[in-house]
Amino acid sequence: MKKLRVLIFSATFGAGHVRAAEAIFEAIRAQEPSTEIIHLDFGEFLNKTINKVIKNTYIELIKYTPKLWGKFYYRTSKISPDSVFQRLLNRLGRRDFLEYILSLQPDLIICTYPTVAGVLAQLRSVQALSIPVVTVVTDYAIHSQWIHAGVDLYIVGCQDVCDGLISRGIEKNRIKVTGIPVSPRFEIPLERHSLYQKFDLEAERFTVLVMGGAYGVLGGAKLISKIIAESQARIQAVIVCGRDEKLFKSLDPVIAEARIPIRRLGYVRNVEELMTVADVIITKAGGLTVSEALTKRLPMVIYKPIPGQEEANAFFVQKIGAGLVADNSDNLEEIITRLISQPQELKSMCLAAEKSFAGHSAEQAADNILKLIEEQKIVQKIG
Protein backbone atom coordinates (compact mmCIF):
# COMPACT_ATOMS: atom_id res chain seq x y z
CA MET A 1 0.00 0.00 0.00
CA LYS A 2 1.37 3.42 -1.01
CA LYS A 3 2.50 5.57 1.89
CA LEU A 4 0.58 8.84 2.25
CA ARG A 5 2.70 11.87 1.35
CA VAL A 6 1.76 15.40 2.47
CA LEU A 7 3.58 18.61 1.56
CA ILE A 8 3.23 21.58 3.95
CA PHE A 9 4.32 25.12 3.05
CA SER A 10 4.71 27.84 5.67
CA ALA A 11 6.89 30.97 5.75
CA THR A 12 9.26 32.46 8.30
CA PHE A 13 7.85 35.99 7.89
CA GLY A 14 6.00 35.26 11.13
CA ALA A 15 6.53 32.40 13.56
CA GLY A 16 2.78 31.72 13.70
CA HIS A 17 2.67 30.35 10.15
CA VAL A 18 5.39 27.85 11.05
CA ARG A 19 3.73 26.87 14.35
CA ALA A 20 0.41 26.21 12.61
CA ALA A 21 2.17 23.98 10.07
CA GLU A 22 3.96 22.09 12.85
CA ALA A 23 0.66 21.61 14.71
CA ILE A 24 -0.96 20.01 11.66
CA PHE A 25 2.20 17.95 11.13
CA GLU A 26 1.86 16.54 14.69
CA ALA A 27 -1.88 15.87 14.38
CA ILE A 28 -1.66 14.07 11.02
CA ARG A 29 1.29 11.99 12.21
CA ALA A 30 -0.70 11.04 15.35
CA GLN A 31 -3.59 9.74 13.24
CA GLU A 32 -1.56 8.27 10.37
CA PRO A 33 1.91 7.44 11.76
CA SER A 34 3.27 6.19 8.43
CA THR A 35 2.52 9.46 6.62
CA GLU A 36 5.52 11.08 4.95
CA ILE A 37 5.31 14.80 5.75
CA ILE A 38 7.55 17.35 4.06
CA HIS A 39 7.49 20.82 5.67
CA LEU A 40 9.12 23.64 3.69
CA ASP A 41 9.57 27.40 3.85
CA PHE A 42 8.06 29.03 0.75
CA GLY A 43 10.80 31.67 0.95
CA GLU A 44 13.31 29.02 -0.14
CA PHE A 45 11.80 29.16 -3.62
CA LEU A 46 12.38 32.89 -3.92
CA ASN A 47 15.63 34.66 -4.67
CA LYS A 48 17.54 34.56 -1.34
CA THR A 49 18.18 38.30 -1.37
CA ILE A 50 14.53 39.08 -2.16
CA ASN A 51 13.36 36.68 0.56
CA LYS A 52 15.65 38.29 3.15
CA VAL A 53 14.56 41.80 2.16
CA ILE A 54 10.85 40.91 2.36
CA LYS A 55 11.24 39.21 5.75
CA ASN A 56 13.34 42.00 7.29
CA THR A 57 11.08 44.72 5.86
CA TYR A 58 8.00 43.03 7.34
CA ILE A 59 9.56 42.69 10.79
CA GLU A 60 10.89 46.27 10.74
CA LEU A 61 7.51 47.64 9.63
CA ILE A 62 5.47 45.98 12.37
CA LYS A 63 8.13 46.68 14.99
CA TYR A 64 8.93 50.35 14.28
CA THR A 65 6.22 51.72 11.93
CA PRO A 66 3.09 49.65 12.67
CA LYS A 67 0.74 52.36 11.36
CA LEU A 68 2.42 52.17 7.96
CA TRP A 69 1.95 48.41 7.96
CA GLY A 70 -1.70 48.90 8.93
CA LYS A 71 -2.29 51.23 5.96
CA PHE A 72 -0.76 48.68 3.60
CA TYR A 73 -2.81 45.84 5.15
CA TYR A 74 -6.16 47.62 4.89
CA ARG A 75 -5.51 49.04 1.41
CA THR A 76 -4.77 45.56 0.08
CA SER A 77 -7.47 43.76 2.05
CA LYS A 78 -10.01 43.70 -0.78
CA ILE A 79 -7.83 43.40 -3.87
CA SER A 80 -9.45 41.35 -6.64
CA PRO A 81 -7.92 37.90 -7.35
CA ASP A 82 -7.42 38.94 -10.99
CA SER A 83 -5.73 42.28 -10.21
CA VAL A 84 -2.26 43.04 -11.59
CA PHE A 85 -0.82 43.01 -8.06
CA GLN A 86 -2.29 39.58 -7.30
CA ARG A 87 -1.20 38.13 -10.63
CA LEU A 88 2.36 39.27 -9.95
CA LEU A 89 2.32 37.67 -6.48
CA ASN A 90 0.99 34.44 -7.93
CA ARG A 91 4.03 34.19 -10.19
CA LEU A 92 6.60 34.37 -7.37
CA GLY A 93 8.98 31.42 -7.75
CA ARG A 94 6.27 29.59 -9.71
CA ARG A 95 8.35 27.62 -12.22
CA ASP A 96 10.82 26.11 -9.72
CA PHE A 97 7.95 25.67 -7.31
CA LEU A 98 5.85 23.63 -9.74
CA GLU A 99 8.78 21.50 -10.89
CA TYR A 100 9.62 20.62 -7.31
CA ILE A 101 6.04 19.70 -6.41
CA LEU A 102 5.60 17.52 -9.49
CA SER A 103 8.84 15.71 -8.69
CA LEU A 104 7.50 14.85 -5.21
CA GLN A 105 3.95 13.92 -6.28
CA PRO A 106 2.35 14.48 -2.84
CA ASP A 107 -1.21 13.38 -2.17
CA LEU A 108 -2.06 16.82 -0.79
CA ILE A 109 -0.53 20.27 -0.23
CA ILE A 110 -1.22 22.38 2.87
CA CYS A 111 -0.48 26.13 3.04
CA THR A 112 -0.32 28.19 6.23
CA TYR A 113 0.92 31.31 4.43
CA PRO A 114 -1.38 33.24 2.04
CA THR A 115 1.04 34.06 -0.80
CA VAL A 116 1.97 30.44 -1.42
CA ALA A 117 -1.73 29.53 -1.39
CA GLY A 118 -2.27 32.08 -4.17
CA VAL A 119 0.50 30.59 -6.31
CA LEU A 120 -0.85 27.06 -5.91
CA ALA A 121 -4.48 28.07 -6.40
CA GLN A 122 -3.59 29.78 -9.66
CA LEU A 123 -1.80 26.62 -10.84
CA ARG A 124 -4.90 24.63 -9.90
CA SER A 125 -7.15 27.04 -11.79
CA VAL A 126 -5.19 26.65 -15.06
CA GLN A 127 -4.97 22.87 -14.49
CA ALA A 128 -1.17 22.89 -14.28
CA LEU A 129 -1.52 21.20 -10.89
CA SER A 130 -3.96 18.39 -10.07
CA ILE A 131 -2.93 17.92 -6.43
CA PRO A 132 -5.55 19.22 -3.92
CA VAL A 133 -4.64 22.33 -1.94
CA VAL A 134 -5.67 23.17 1.64
CA THR A 135 -5.30 26.69 3.05
CA VAL A 136 -5.09 27.23 6.81
CA VAL A 137 -6.07 30.82 7.70
CA THR A 138 -3.91 31.81 10.68
CA ASP A 139 -5.82 34.96 11.72
CA TYR A 140 -9.32 35.76 12.95
CA ALA A 141 -10.01 38.11 10.03
CA ILE A 142 -10.20 37.83 6.26
CA HIS A 143 -7.77 39.52 3.86
CA SER A 144 -7.80 39.21 0.07
CA GLN A 145 -4.46 37.38 0.16
CA TRP A 146 -6.17 34.35 1.70
CA ILE A 147 -8.97 34.14 -0.89
CA HIS A 148 -8.32 32.04 -4.01
CA ALA A 149 -10.86 30.13 -6.07
CA GLY A 150 -8.46 27.24 -6.75
CA VAL A 151 -8.20 26.19 -3.09
CA ASP A 152 -9.99 22.90 -2.33
CA LEU A 153 -10.42 23.32 1.44
CA TYR A 154 -10.15 26.17 3.94
CA ILE A 155 -9.38 25.55 7.62
CA VAL A 156 -10.45 28.60 9.65
CA GLY A 157 -10.45 29.76 13.25
CA CYS A 158 -13.99 31.04 13.77
CA GLN A 159 -17.42 31.49 12.20
CA ASP A 160 -16.73 35.15 11.35
CA VAL A 161 -13.88 34.09 9.05
CA CYS A 162 -16.09 31.42 7.50
CA ASP A 163 -18.80 34.01 6.83
CA GLY A 164 -16.20 36.38 5.38
CA LEU A 165 -15.00 33.75 2.92
CA ILE A 166 -18.57 32.95 1.88
CA SER A 167 -19.29 36.66 1.30
CA ARG A 168 -16.24 36.74 -1.01
CA GLY A 169 -17.50 33.86 -3.13
CA ILE A 170 -16.05 30.74 -1.47
CA GLU A 171 -18.55 27.84 -1.25
CA LYS A 172 -19.57 26.89 2.28
CA ASN A 173 -18.78 23.20 1.73
CA ARG A 174 -15.12 24.11 1.14
CA ILE A 175 -14.74 25.70 4.60
CA LYS A 176 -14.26 23.97 7.95
CA VAL A 177 -14.33 25.88 11.24
CA THR A 178 -11.89 24.02 13.50
CA GLY A 179 -10.08 26.82 15.33
CA ILE A 180 -6.60 27.86 14.23
CA PRO A 181 -4.50 24.69 14.61
CA VAL A 182 -2.23 24.68 17.66
CA SER A 183 0.07 21.91 18.80
CA PRO A 184 -1.70 19.01 20.56
CA ARG A 185 0.80 19.63 23.39
CA PHE A 186 -1.44 22.53 24.50
CA GLU A 187 -4.29 20.07 25.08
CA ILE A 188 -2.36 17.96 27.60
CA PRO A 189 -3.12 18.85 31.26
CA LEU A 190 0.10 19.74 33.08
CA GLU A 191 0.87 19.70 36.81
CA ARG A 192 1.21 23.34 37.76
CA HIS A 193 3.13 23.05 41.02
CA SER A 194 5.96 21.01 39.52
CA LEU A 195 6.31 23.69 36.83
CA TYR A 196 6.59 26.38 39.51
CA GLN A 197 9.63 24.52 40.77
CA LYS A 198 11.03 24.07 37.26
CA PHE A 199 10.90 27.83 36.58
CA ASP A 200 11.88 28.81 40.13
CA LEU A 201 8.55 30.54 40.76
CA GLU A 202 6.54 30.93 43.96
CA ALA A 203 3.21 29.12 43.91
CA GLU A 204 1.42 31.70 46.07
CA ARG A 205 2.25 34.68 43.84
CA PHE A 206 0.08 35.95 40.96
CA THR A 207 2.05 35.15 37.80
CA VAL A 208 2.21 37.46 34.78
CA LEU A 209 3.58 36.09 31.51
CA VAL A 210 4.88 38.65 28.98
CA MET A 211 5.46 37.39 25.44
CA GLY A 212 6.68 39.55 22.58
CA GLY A 213 6.72 36.98 19.77
CA ALA A 214 9.69 35.15 18.25
CA TYR A 215 11.16 38.41 16.91
CA GLY A 216 10.33 40.59 19.90
CA VAL A 217 7.69 42.64 18.09
CA LEU A 218 5.58 43.48 21.14
CA GLY A 219 5.74 47.26 21.11
CA GLY A 220 6.84 48.69 24.45
CA ALA A 221 7.98 45.34 25.89
CA LYS A 222 10.60 47.06 28.05
CA LEU A 223 8.04 49.57 29.35
CA ILE A 224 5.61 46.74 30.13
CA SER A 225 8.35 44.93 32.05
CA LYS A 226 9.15 48.11 33.98
CA ILE A 227 5.50 48.64 34.96
CA ILE A 228 5.25 45.08 36.25
CA ALA A 229 8.64 45.25 37.98
CA GLU A 230 7.52 48.28 39.99
CA SER A 231 4.28 46.67 41.17
CA GLN A 232 3.48 46.80 44.88
CA ALA A 233 1.31 43.69 44.57
CA ARG A 234 2.44 40.18 45.48
CA ILE A 235 3.15 39.08 41.92
CA GLN A 236 5.95 37.59 39.81
CA ALA A 237 6.68 37.73 36.10
CA VAL A 238 8.10 35.61 33.30
CA ILE A 239 9.29 37.71 30.34
CA VAL A 240 9.94 35.96 27.03
CA CYS A 241 12.11 38.05 24.69
CA GLY A 242 12.21 35.64 21.75
CA ARG A 243 15.15 36.22 19.42
CA ASP A 244 15.35 39.92 20.30
CA GLU A 245 18.79 40.06 21.94
CA LYS A 246 18.61 43.84 22.26
CA LEU A 247 15.43 43.59 24.33
CA PHE A 248 16.90 40.79 26.43
CA LYS A 249 19.95 42.89 27.32
CA SER A 250 17.92 46.07 27.89
CA LEU A 251 16.06 44.38 30.75
CA ASP A 252 19.23 44.12 32.89
CA PRO A 253 18.53 47.32 34.91
CA VAL A 254 14.77 46.58 35.08
CA ILE A 255 15.39 43.18 36.65
CA ALA A 256 18.14 44.49 38.93
CA GLU A 257 15.81 47.14 40.41
CA ALA A 258 12.58 45.08 40.35
CA ARG A 259 10.41 44.85 43.47
CA ILE A 260 9.15 41.44 42.39
CA PRO A 261 10.74 38.19 41.17
CA ILE A 262 11.26 38.21 37.39
CA ARG A 263 12.36 35.34 35.16
CA ARG A 264 13.74 36.44 31.78
CA LEU A 265 13.88 34.01 28.85
CA GLY A 266 14.99 34.17 25.21
CA TYR A 267 13.45 32.03 22.48
CA VAL A 268 11.50 29.13 23.99
CA ARG A 269 9.81 25.95 22.77
CA ASN A 270 7.80 25.19 25.93
CA VAL A 271 5.16 27.90 25.70
CA GLU A 272 2.50 25.43 26.86
CA GLU A 273 4.36 25.09 30.18
CA LEU A 274 4.72 28.84 30.62
CA MET A 275 1.01 29.34 29.87
CA THR A 276 0.18 26.69 32.48
CA VAL A 277 1.91 28.56 35.33
CA ALA A 278 0.62 32.00 34.28
CA ASP A 279 -2.52 33.67 35.64
CA VAL A 280 -2.58 36.18 32.78
CA ILE A 281 -0.57 36.83 29.62
CA ILE A 282 0.38 40.24 28.22
CA THR A 283 1.09 39.73 24.54
CA LYS A 284 0.85 40.75 20.93
CA ALA A 285 -2.22 39.52 19.07
CA GLY A 286 -0.70 37.00 16.70
CA GLY A 287 -3.25 34.43 15.57
CA LEU A 288 -1.29 31.47 16.94
CA THR A 289 -0.46 33.07 20.30
CA VAL A 290 -4.13 33.97 20.75
CA SER A 291 -5.20 30.43 19.84
CA GLU A 292 -2.66 28.85 22.19
CA ALA A 293 -3.85 31.05 25.06
CA LEU A 294 -7.48 30.18 24.28
CA THR A 295 -6.61 26.48 24.27
CA LYS A 296 -4.95 26.85 27.70
CA ARG A 297 -7.91 28.99 28.93
CA LEU A 298 -5.42 31.72 29.82
CA PRO A 299 -6.81 35.29 30.13
CA MET A 300 -5.15 37.75 27.74
CA VAL A 301 -4.19 41.40 27.89
CA ILE A 302 -3.23 42.59 24.43
CA TYR A 303 -1.04 45.67 24.48
CA LYS A 304 -1.38 48.23 21.67
CA PRO A 305 -2.27 45.75 18.90
CA ILE A 306 -0.57 46.35 15.56
CA PRO A 307 -3.00 47.78 12.97
CA GLY A 308 -4.05 45.10 10.53
CA GLN A 309 -4.49 41.42 11.29
CA GLU A 310 -3.44 41.75 14.95
CA GLU A 311 -5.97 44.52 15.50
CA ALA A 312 -8.62 42.17 14.12
CA ASN A 313 -7.38 39.31 16.31
CA ALA A 314 -7.56 41.57 19.37
CA PHE A 315 -11.12 42.53 18.45
CA PHE A 316 -12.01 38.84 18.30
CA VAL A 317 -10.54 38.21 21.77
CA GLN A 318 -12.54 41.12 23.22
CA LYS A 319 -15.69 40.08 21.39
CA ILE A 320 -15.74 36.61 22.93
CA GLY A 321 -14.76 37.96 26.37
CA ALA A 322 -11.48 36.05 26.70
CA GLY A 323 -9.25 39.09 27.12
CA LEU A 324 -8.80 42.85 27.23
CA VAL A 325 -6.96 45.42 25.13
CA ALA A 326 -4.67 48.02 26.71
CA ASP A 327 -4.19 51.04 24.45
CA ASN A 328 -1.47 52.69 26.54
CA SER A 329 0.75 52.13 29.57
CA ASP A 330 -1.67 53.77 32.04
CA ASN A 331 -4.48 51.57 30.75
CA LEU A 332 -2.25 48.50 31.07
CA GLU A 333 -1.33 49.30 34.67
CA GLU A 334 -4.98 49.82 35.58
CA ILE A 335 -6.02 46.52 33.97
CA ILE A 336 -3.29 44.48 35.68
CA THR A 337 -4.07 46.03 39.08
CA ARG A 338 -7.78 45.29 38.61
CA LEU A 339 -7.24 41.68 37.52
CA ILE A 340 -4.99 40.94 40.50
CA SER A 341 -7.67 42.14 42.92
CA GLN A 342 -10.66 40.70 41.04
CA PRO A 343 -10.13 36.97 40.40
CA GLN A 344 -13.76 36.64 39.31
CA GLU A 345 -13.01 38.69 36.18
CA LEU A 346 -10.15 36.34 35.35
CA LYS A 347 -12.43 33.35 35.87
CA SER A 348 -15.00 34.87 33.51
CA MET A 349 -12.33 35.18 30.82
CA CYS A 350 -11.34 31.53 31.32
CA LEU A 351 -14.96 30.43 30.94
CA ALA A 352 -15.38 32.62 27.85
CA ALA A 353 -12.36 30.98 26.23
CA GLU A 354 -13.75 27.53 27.03
CA LYS A 355 -17.16 28.42 25.59
CA SER A 356 -15.85 30.00 22.38
CA PHE A 357 -12.89 27.74 21.62
CA ALA A 358 -13.69 24.05 21.74
CA GLY A 359 -10.05 23.01 21.49
CA HIS A 360 -8.42 20.08 19.66
CA SER A 361 -8.12 22.38 16.66
CA ALA A 362 -5.17 20.58 15.05
CA GLU A 363 -6.89 17.20 15.42
CA GLN A 364 -10.07 18.59 13.82
CA ALA A 365 -8.04 20.10 10.99
CA ALA A 366 -6.23 16.79 10.44
CA ASP A 367 -9.57 14.92 10.35
CA ASN A 368 -10.86 17.17 7.57
CA ILE A 369 -7.60 17.06 5.63
CA LEU A 370 -7.41 13.26 5.72
CA LYS A 371 -11.08 13.09 4.70
CA LEU A 372 -10.32 15.28 1.67
CA ILE A 373 -7.51 12.92 0.64
CA GLU A 374 -9.89 9.94 0.82
CA GLU A 375 -12.52 11.78 -1.21
CA GLN A 376 -9.93 12.62 -3.87
CA LYS A 377 -8.89 8.96 -4.08
CA ILE A 378 -12.52 7.91 -4.63
CA VAL A 379 -12.91 10.53 -7.39
CA GLN A 380 -9.71 9.31 -9.09
CA LYS A 381 -10.94 5.69 -9.00
CA ILE A 382 -14.29 6.64 -10.52
CA GLY A 383 -12.54 8.80 -13.12
Q: Going residue by residue through the chain (383 aa), what tens digit of pLDDT does each one get?
A: 578 999 999 987 667 889 999 999 999 999 999 999 999 887 777 656 656 666 666 666 666 667 766 666 666 666 666 655 555 555 555 667 788 888 999 999 999 988 888 888 888 888 888 899 999 999 998 888 888 888 999 999 999 999 999 998 999 999 999 999 999 999 999 999 999 999 999 999 999 999 976 554 566 888 899 999 999 899 999 999 988 888 899 999 999 999 999 999 998 999 999 999 999 999 989 999 999 999 999 999 999 888 888 899 999 999 999 999 999 989 999 999 999 999 999 999 999 999 998 889 999 999 999 999 988 877 666 65
* Residue-wise pLDDT tens digits, 247-277: 899 999 999 999 999 999 998 999 999 999 9
Between vectors from CA 288 to CA 219 and to CA 168, what angle results, nearest 5°?
105
Domain topology for 5-179+360-382? Rossmann fold (3.40.50)
Q: Exposed e or buried b for every residue in 363-372, given b needs 16+ CB within 10 A?
A: bbbbbebbeb
Boundaries of CATH 3.40.50.2000 in the chain? 5-179+360-382, 185-356
* Amino acid found at 215: Y
Contact call for residues 8 and 21 (beta carbons, < 8 A): yes
Give the span between the Cα atoms of 95 and 301, in whole angstroms: 44
Give the span between the Cα atoms of 339 and 275, in whole angstroms: 17
Contact call for residues 178 and 334 (beta carbons, < 8 A): no
Nearest to 147 by CA among 211, 102, 90: 90
Rg (Cα) of the chain, in Å, rounded? 21
- Is 3.20.20.70 the CATH classification of the domain at 185-356? no
- Which DSSP helix (H) or strand (E) runs through 208? strand 206-211
Give the span between the Cα atoms of 373 and 116, in whole angstroms: 20
Entry pTM: 0.88
* Residue-wise pLDDT tens digits, 223-251: 899 999 999 899 999 999 988 888 899 99
